[in-house]
């Protein structure tokens, strides 16, 4: 489920709602929601789907693939460029403002796409702060020790406690 309007979100790690060609033969991406719904319905209580329902690239006929980074064939075409532009523009326009880089549940699988840029931006933007909440990695680079925080805990609990603390501080809210 998507809670935020698309223009407020930059999905540079992809989005399971879209398919791409497994071979990246085309820059096209297309809807995955309906085909996946049909496959799940066809599975019933089993784990097999009819071959005719396996989603395929409309250009080359190879299997379709989720448009998501992490499998080695992530399509970084015009859709990716659009997502990357959104976050880049936002960061440029807000670089002198109070800005919080908040990581929720970000692991160490592909740190070069979110975590390491967050560390660099925290270091280079004058009023930036960095907070990461996750269940296992207690690590903060020394260079941002005074501007960052690691919380190893349950995310839902941290957010609840934060909300309670904010409400206690400002009872008018």
* Measured torsion, CA atoms of residues 72, 78, 79, 84, in degrees rounded to the nearest 10: 90
What number of helices (H) and strands (E) belong to the chain? Answer: 4, 6
Rounded to whole angstroms, the Cα distance separating 114 from 125 reads 16
Q: How many residues does the chain have?
A: 173
Binding characters for Zn ion, 66-85, by CB under 5 A (x = yes): --------------------
Q: Which of 30-38, 62-70, 71-79, 90-98 is the region at the interface with Zn ion (rule: CB under 5 A)?
A: 62-70
Q: Which of 16-24, 36-44, 84-92, 119-127 is the region at the interface with Zn ion (rule: CB under 5 A)?
A: 16-24
What is the closest distance, in whole angstroms, from the C-beta atom of residue 48 to Zn ion in the complex?
24
Pick between residue 60 and residue 120 the one whose CB is nearest to Zn ion: 60
Phi, psi of 49 (to 5 degrees): -120, 150
Find the binder of Zn ion among 16, 59, 89, 108 (CB under 5 A): 59
Find the binder of Zn ion among 60, 102, 104, 120 (CB under 5 A): 60
Which residue has tokens 């670089």?
Answer: 95
**By the rule CB under 5 A, 155 interacts with Zn ion:** no
Binding characters for Zn ion, 94-133, by CB under 5 A (x = yes): ----------------------------------------
CA-to-CA dists, residue 24 to 17, 32, 61, 133, angstroms: 17, 16, 12, 34
């Amino acid at each position: 489920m998507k809670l935020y309007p698309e223009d407020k979100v930059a999905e540079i790690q992809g989005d399971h709602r879209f398919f791409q060609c497994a071979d990246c033969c085309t820059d096209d991406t297309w809807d995955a929601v309906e085909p996946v719904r049909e496959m799940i319905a066809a599975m019933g209580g089993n784990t097999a789907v009819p071959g005719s329902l396996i989603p395929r690239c409309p250009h080359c006929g190879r299997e379709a693939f989720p448009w998501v980074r992490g499998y080695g064939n992530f399509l970084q075409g015009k859709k990716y460029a659009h997502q990357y532009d959104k976050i880049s523009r936002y960061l440029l326009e807000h670089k002198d403002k109070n800005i919080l880089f908040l990581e929720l549940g970000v692991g160490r699988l592909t740190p070069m796409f979110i975590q390491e840029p967050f560390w660099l931006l925290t270091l280079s933007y004058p009023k930036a702060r960095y907070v990461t909440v996750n269940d296992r990695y207690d690590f903060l680079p020394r260079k941002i020790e005074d501007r960052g925080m690691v919380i190893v805990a349950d995310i839902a609990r941290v957010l609840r406690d934060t909300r309670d603390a904010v409400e206690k501080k400002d009872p008018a809210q």
